[in-house]
Structure 1
Amino acid sequence: MSSSNLFKATVNEHLEGLPETMQSRLYEAPATCLSIYRLLPPIAKFYIMSMVFSERPVALRDLDKWCKPGTRKVQFESLKRLKSLHLILEDRQGQYITLHPIFRKNFRDCLTGSQAPNAFGNLCLTPAEVSVSISFLDSFALSKWETILHFMVGTESTPTPSTSVLSLLKSGGLMEGSGSGLRITNTGFQFLLQDVNAQIWTILLQYLNLTQDLNMDPVDVLNFIFILGSLELGKSYTVSSLSTTQVNMLADLKDYGLIYQRASNSGRFYPTRLATTLTSESSALKSPARAMDQALESATSQQPSADQSDDAATTSISGPASAAQGSIILETNFKIYAYTNSPLEIAILNLFVHLKTRFANMVCGQITRESIRKALYNGITAQQIIKFLETHAHPQMKILAREKLDKKIEFDTNNNINTAGGAPQSQIDANGTVAQHRLEILPPTVVDQIKLWQLELDRIQTFEGYLFKDFASQQEYDVLSNYASEIGVLVWSDKTKKKFYITEQGKSQVVDFANRKLKRE
């Protein structure tokens, strides 16, 4: 069984798969340009910012001078992303690149504030009859989203989501069956362990795949989704400035908890935190269970101070009760304790933990080989399990992990000072921590064992790619294989037989480098 992540249909890959003409239409919306820029890797953002105010073409060979040595892999991935999105255009000789003219103009307008007044929605200037607070929007969004998750895991007495939500769950392969016989699939098990932003994008991308069946313009749909990611939380926006397609989307987006509208014929709508964080690097929801959040909040706010009482009414979805707080404690003997009474939280833990005891506000269990193998057979990967446990780890585990890391760094620093007069600069990263150490929230023995259990099932891995052989000299082999390794596309190499194997995506880059290198020599 392959342990590859089935959720590769990210928004970036969806955008890359669109035709060039459709991508150009997307770049006509300033909000879309800004959102796409946010989703790019750091070096790709650097390239765009370096070219956005200059219309002169840039030589490809000069790009290497813009970055530090040894970053060819990151440069290759960034250029590949920009080319697939057609954000950069090459000349016929493939020596110079320029920024997409439509994207440059609209993105530059966003940076200088010269975009059209309604580029990011029209605010309602008249006050609403009933005020809507941020805390209400958070509660509404969380209720809608948890209803979907509770329905997927089969929580008793959970209301059935709307017809549009059920159709997306079925068409996306998250659930199968019909009527009351709907049941979660292997893909659905993976979906439950995803970050909330990834879950929302999974639903939205499936919604985009159905736009043609719904007679909706996919560019109009994508633009509205990106506009939602740029709106301000707690503000109301007019419906009159939306297109017919976007107005029809409001009912569906309300079912997902992305917007709030008092009535279907209301002239205003409110984006929720699930919508305003669509293109953000921060997650809207770190805890999948509101019940757990309420239990933690009540435990930490039994005696609030004067300052705390003022903030209690505005606790957001990503506030201290949910984002900063965790509930799971994992011991080196594989025992796990979760301080929660949420059926959803318990159901998710039951996917990969053998639960033994349940109390009023806590469940106890143990991670076993059988429980992990059951999760792996359901399509869940070891990395997803580890990520879930780290995200929901108890605050005390994070404090202990930080103290342990500080002691290691202090010990190594003192040794370097005593032996070499100071820590080498190459061992210290941008945050001031020693590079060979990292924050280990979970016990390393447990993390390694979970990965080993997955390797038991992944004895054979297949890679699609190309084999390079029959080199004229050892030097020619060394140059090309080293370059393939630097850009991160090398899968296998044999120096004695002068053969190496690269990924399918890296072929064009290695061939272009070989042609330039051989012609020069």
Structure 2
Amino acid sequence: MAAANPDEHGDVNSEASPHALLTFLQSQSQNTLSRLYQKPSSCLSIFRLLGPLDRQLVMNLLWLDSAIPASTMNAWVTREGRKPYEASLGILSRLHILPSSPVKLALNPTFKTSLRQAITGGGTSGSFGVPAGNDDKHTTPSVEKLDAYALERWETILHYMVSSGSGRYPAKPSQGVLLLLQRSGLMTSPHGAALQITSSGFQFLLYSPHTQLWELLLQYLHMAEERQMDLVEVLSFLFMLSTMELGREYSTEHLSGTQTAMLEDLRDYGIIWQRKASSRRFNPTRLATTLTSSAPPLPTTSGSGGTTQSQGFIVLETNYRIYAYTDNPLQIAILNLFITLKSRFPNLVVGAITRESVKKALANGITADQIISYLTTHAHPQMRRNKPLLPVTVQDQIRLWELEKNRVKSQEGYLYTAFASQADYEYVLDYAKKLDVVLWESAARRCFFGSLEGHANIRGFIERRTAGNV
């Protein structure tokens, strides 16, 4: 097993908030984490996901042969650093890397041994994958081919989300991907109809590719036990992939049953490439090798307008007109969710934000703030000279159209009317109020409107009163 540099791929969690996967791992049992820490690649990947202070604490303790008093470490902490230091201790203890209530500080022995092995090398566990031998029949796919494959698979998922319900998408993801989108709340199937994007789904489109990928993978981890998959094996394989070398082929012969079953799912996400389903070798794509890295998981320059998008491509005028300098079908499909397209040129799309287009977006669960956030995120560099960045009149109007939609609220229920007397009306109304199912009442018209859930009880009460039993 080759030695690995702990910061070789860069850290992915330089912000104050912990990585979403760390939050998931903190909810797991000590036994699960102890099994996970037996793999050097898992420990190295988790180390990369930790915050800077967390990593510093681990490295300070990694090469010590015995525990040190907590008071000794406390003496190194300034008054201003006390709060972040205690927060780091809390994260490491919940991950069972450090003891929960330390008198002395020492790393989990299993974690320490594995991380040392990951950094210095040695061992034959195959934790970082087993490279496949030379294949005289086939040539190894180039990095460019792997990038194109990952981009095509990932954009297929995103394109299906934004084109949901319209049938205008270049390809349909697999059933496994569709189930994952539905279970994660990014898409919904109202009354058994075709899947449609939700408000959470549109917010998902605003995230970076790295955050998008982990949001789906976290849902995949939640579903692992339902599918009778070993969670530790699933996590170990994802961590193994994150430490592999882009452009190199690896053997499937040393994978567990769970990990072999994962290959089909990971192909659908564009995380791995295989020549065919029965192949005994696979290539990790950039989506895989950057899982625990700060490097971009997708190529930033591509024939689909990647460079333009990374710099911002939308110009919004005070007359609600939009100029989008892109030829990317995915970005155009996203814009079509909330603007009315007027013209399309080889590298330019012209449209406008209208009352009808915003109402259509609101009906699909997209909020005014999400529309404004998307326009802000993808604003053209020329727009960024403006203060404020987006025209205030346009922002205000989008929010007003949302308020217009929220003015009327519909709810299913039953209208109770035609009471024989005022006493009857008040008697039944009082009973309904005790059940807390009255949505509206009118004493002048002697009627009230009750919720769907309360109808059976109110009807039974009226029948018993009519029969003289109340």
What code does the residue aligned with 1:443 have? L
Contact 2:376 2:389 in 1 (8 A): no
Question: Which of residues 357, 378, 403 in structure 1 aligns to 2:365?
Answer: 378
Answering whether residue 287 of structure 2 is matched by residue 341 of structure 1, we say no
3-state SS in 1 of match to 2:106: strand
Contact 2:308 2:325 in 1 (8 A): no
For 2:132, the equivalent position in structure 1 comes to 124
For 1:363, the equivalent position in structure 2 comes to 349
Contact 1:137 1:260 in 2 (8 A): yes
Contact 1:30 1:115 in 2 (8 A): no
Superposed displacement of residue 232, structure 1: 0.7
Superposed displacement of residue 101, structure 1: 1.0
For 2:458, the equivalent position in structure 1 comes to none
Answering whether residue 30 of structure 2 is matched by residue 30 of structure 1, we say no
Deviations, residues 445-492 of structure 1 (Å, cap 9, x unaligned)? 869978x969x99xxxxxxxxxxxxxxxxxxxxxxxxxxxxxxxxxxx
Superposed displacement of residue 367, structure 1: 7.0
Q: For the structure 1 residues 43 and 385, does the alpha-carbon distance in structure 2 shift closer, same or farther, using more than 3 Å as the test?
A: farther
Superposed displacement of residue 67, structure 1: 4.5
Question: Which of residues 221, 226, 230 in structure 2 aligns to 1:213?
Answer: 226
Answering whether residue 214 of structure 2 is matched by residue 201 of structure 1, we say yes
What code does the residue aligned with 1:32 have? S
Superposed displacement of residue 110, structure 1: 1.1
What code does the residue aligned with 2:343 have? R
Answering whether residue 179 of structure 2 is matched by residue 167 of structure 1, we say yes
Question: Which of residues 95, 105, 110 in structure 1 aligns to 2:113?
Answer: 105
Q: For the structure 1 residues 73 and 241, does the alpha-carbon distance in structure 2 shift closer, same or farther, using more than 3 Å as the test?
A: same
What code does the residue aligned with 2:158 have? L
Superposed displacement of residue 283, structure 1: 2.8
For 2:303, the equivalent position in structure 1 comes to 294
- Counterpart CA distance in 2 for 1:153 and 1:211 is 27
For 2:54, the equivalent position in structure 1 comes to 44
Answering whether residue 36 of structure 2 is matched by residue 21 of structure 1, we say no
Aligned positions, number: 378
Q: For the structure 1 residues 37 and 347, does the alpha-carbon distance in structure 2 shift closer, same or farther, using more than 3 Å as the test?
A: same
What code does the residue aligned with 1:96 have? K
Answering whether residue 121 of structure 2 is matched by residue 133 of structure 1, we say no
Deviations, residues 189-209 of structure 1 (Å, cap 9, x unaligned)? 222222111211122122212
TM-score, scaled to structure 1? 0.63
Superposed displacement of residue 282, structure 1: 2.6
Contact 1:294 1:321 in 2 (8 A): no
What code does the residue aligned with 2:254 have? S
Contact 2:161 2:187 in 1 (8 A): yes
3-state SS in 1 of match to 2:283: strand
- Counterpart CA distance in 2 for 1:98 and 1:31 is 21
- Counterpart CA distance in 2 for 1:75 and 1:447 is 46
Q: For the structure 1 residues 104 and 160, does the alpha-carbon distance in structure 2 shift closer, same or farther, using more than 3 Å as the test?
A: same
Superposed displacement of residue 334, structure 1: 7.6
Deviations, residues 231-276 of structure 1 (Å, cap 9, x unaligned)? 1111100111111111111111001110000111111100001111
Superposed displacement of residue 166, structure 1: 1.4
**Percent of aligned positions that are identical:** 40
What are the within-5 Å matches in structure 2 for residues 298-337 of structure 1? 321=307, 325-329=311-315, 336-337=322-323
Answering whether residue 201 of structure 2 is matched by residue 188 of structure 1, we say yes
Unmatched segments (≥5 aa) in structure 1: 1-7, 297-319, 402-439, 458-521
Deviations, residues 213-241 of structure 1 (Å, cap 9, x unaligned)? 22211100100001111111111001111
What code does the residue aligned with 1:253 have? L
What code does the residue aligned with 1:252 have? D
Superposed displacement of residue 29, structure 1: 0.6
What code does the residue aligned with 1:342 have? N
- Counterpart CA distance in 2 for 1:447 and 1:245 is 55
TM-score, scaled to structure 2? 0.70
3-state SS in 2 of match to 1:99: coil
- Counterpart CA distance in 1 for 2:188 and 2:262 is 25
For 2:246, the equivalent position in structure 1 comes to 233
Unmatched segments (≥5 aa) in structure 2: 1-17, 404-470
Question: Which of residues 285, 303, 328 in structure 1 aligns to 2:298?
Answer: 285
What are the within-5 Å matches in structure 2 for residues 427-442 of structure 1? none
Q: For the structure 1 residues 212 and 390, does the alpha-carbon distance in structure 2 shift closer, same or farther, using more than 3 Å as the test?
A: same
Contact 2:140 2:248 in 1 (8 A): no
- Counterpart CA distance in 1 for 2:61 and 2:75 is 15
Q: For the structure 1 residues 266 and 105, does the alpha-carbon distance in structure 2 shift closer, same or farther, using more than 3 Å as the test?
A: same
What are the within-5 Å matches in structure 2 for residues 344-423 of structure 1? 344-351=330-337, 354-355=339-340, 357-360=342-345, 361-364=347-350, 371=358, 378=365, 382=369, 386=373, 392-394=378-380
What code does the residue aligned with 1:43 have? L
